Each structure stands twice: as C-alpha cells, then as structure tokens.
Amino acid sequence: MAHKPWRQGRPDMDDKPGIPRPSLSRLPLYYRFLLQASEAGRNVVSSDEMGQALRLPAAQIRKDLTYVREFGRPGVGYPVGQLLASLEEFLGLANDKEAILVGAGRLGQALASYPGFEAYGLRIVALFDSDPAKVGQEVAGRTIFPMDKLANLVGRLHIQMGVITVPAQAAQTVADAMVTAGITVIWNFAPARLSVPEGVWVENEDLASRLATLSYRIVRRGRRAGTAGTGETEGEKSDRGGPGSAAAG
C-alpha cells in the first residue's frame, strides 16, 4: 500500500472550512459547559461566565463561536439550547458514529467500557485482537473478534472510524488493515506515527509523550523551588560549577 505522511494538509487547520485546530479543540469544552448549564435549568449564559469557568478569555470564546455561526447578544449572552444545537450539528454529535477498536488490552478494554463517549455520539461496536486467548471474550457487552474478521465487519456495518490501542510495533500493520477495510478516521493511542493514504485522518493520543511533559513540569518546579532559597537562577548555579567541574578543580 502506498502511503503519504500521517497528517494531511495544514497542521493548524481542520477540514471544517476556515476553523483553526486550536479553536476546534475548544468547542467540546464549551459543549460540556453548556450541557451542565442546561441540566441546571439555565436558559442563557455569557461569554464572561464561560470564560471564568473554563479559564479562557471571553474574547477568545466569542471568536471561537463565530465559526459555528453563533453570535451572542451584547448584554444578554447566548441562548443555551440554541448554542448546544449548533455545536452538536457542527461537531456531528447529533449523529451516532460507530467505531471498531483493535487491541483488547487494558487500555482498549477501558476505552470500550467508558460510557462518556455516548454523549458525543460515539459507540464502539466491536473489538479485535490478534491474541487467540482474548478472542471470543466480551468487554462491556462487546465480543472480541480475531483480526481476520475486521474487513468483513467494517464493510458490512459501513464503519468509518477505528481506534488503535496496540503496541507501537503493531500499529502500522493495524492501520493498514483498517484503511484497506474502508476506515477513514483513526484514533491512535499507540506511541507511533502512522503513514496513511490521502483522505485518511489520524488523531494521535501519545500518552507517553504527555507523561514526559508532566514529568518535566514536576522536575522544573522542583528546580525552581531549590534555587529560590539561594537566590540563584539555574544559569548562575550552573556557572558556579560543582564536583568535577573546572570551577571545582
């Protein structure tokens, strides 16, 4: 199979005409806030209120919402029901989406069992795994199938989305099988960059990279705390030298 780079088009833009990727990533935050407001009986919310709750600038929220053709009334705010409906239509949440998942390990089983996806119209209908010991088992009422059943099920149910939760070394093979079967959107939890043909979208969730980022933040905070008592910056501390350095010799 001929492959092109894993991400198509501009990395800061999405397929929705003219919407920057950061703005698109914030829309689900607004949607969750509005769901809670609706459940609380609220009819109108302001961008200032949303900004305080989500720790985002109100001006940024107003700009993001213009992409879904929603404009709040000055001094009044946004009608909760109308904005919810607009976001659901824009994000495709009103339409149920069925997906398959490959990799029925602990992460795969946890994702398949997570009920929160249903609020966003996502339903994982089947799991696949190459381990014969797992085939035939059920996870949250879903049967684990062998990989040789993937193409038939995807074609028969017209599945467009696949979730990958396999080890890195198996991820490309799984992606190839998904694309061959007709999958056009892949949610990839494997720590691997995938090569896919044009027209296939990959969304990566690299948990290891995110953990490394958090670890860096913890270490950096500890370093700042350690230098605060001496009044030295990290650069000054380095310049001062230590055991084995030129300054110490």
Three-class DSSP labels, 200-244: CEEEECCHHHHHHHHHHHHHHHHHHHHHHCCCCCHHHHHHHCCCC
Q: What is the mean pLDDT of the chain?
A: 84
In a 13 Å sphere around the CA of 70, the CA atoms on its Cβ side amount to 25
Q: Which domains does the chain have, with CATH numbers?
A: 21-91 (1.10.10.10), 97-208 (3.40.50.720)
Asked if residue 150 lies in contact with residue 178, where contact means CB atoms within 8 angstroms, the answer is: yes
Out of 79-83, 153-157, 195-199, 227-231, least confident range? 227-231
Rounded Cα distance between 133 and 143, Å, is: 13
Which is nearest to 201 in space by CA: 228, 150, 162? 162
pLDDT band at 230 (very low <50, low <70, confident <90, very high): low
Report the pLDDT value the prediction gives residue 240, as an integer from 0 to 100.
44
Report the pLDDT value the prediction gives residue 175, as an integer from 0 to 100.
98
Which residue has tokens 């110490």?
248
Q: Write 7-14 long-range contacts (CB < 8 A, 24+).
A: 7/202, 8/198, 8/199, 8/200, 8/201
Mean pLDDT of 62-78: 84
Dihedral pair phi/psi, residue 78, rounded to 5°? -110, 130
By DSSP bridging, strand 201-204 and strand 185-188 are parallel
Report the pLDDT value the prediction gives residue 76, as an integer from 0 to 100.
82
Say yes or no to pLDDT of 12 above 70.
Answer: no
Report the pLDDT value the prediction gives residue 17, as an integer from 0 to 100.
55
Say yes or no to pLDDT of 189 above 90.
Answer: yes
Percentage, residues of the chain above pLDDT 90: 61
Report the pLDDT value the prediction gives residue 120, as an integer from 0 to 100.
83
Say yes or no to pLDDT of 133 above 90.
Answer: yes
Out of 13-17, 88-92, 101-105, 113-117, least confident range? 13-17
Out of 12-16, 90-94, 181-185, least confident range? 12-16
Say yes or no to pLDDT of 50 above 60.
Answer: yes
Report the pLDDT value the prediction gives residue 21, as an integer from 0 to 100.
85
Asked if residue 142 lies in contact with residue 112, where contact means CB atoms within 8 angstroms, the answer is: yes
* Beta bridge partners of residue 4, listed in sequence order: 196
* Beta bridge partners of residue 138, listed in sequence order: 143
Q: What is the DSSP letter of 194?
A: P
Rounded Cα distance between 228 and 221, Å, is: 11
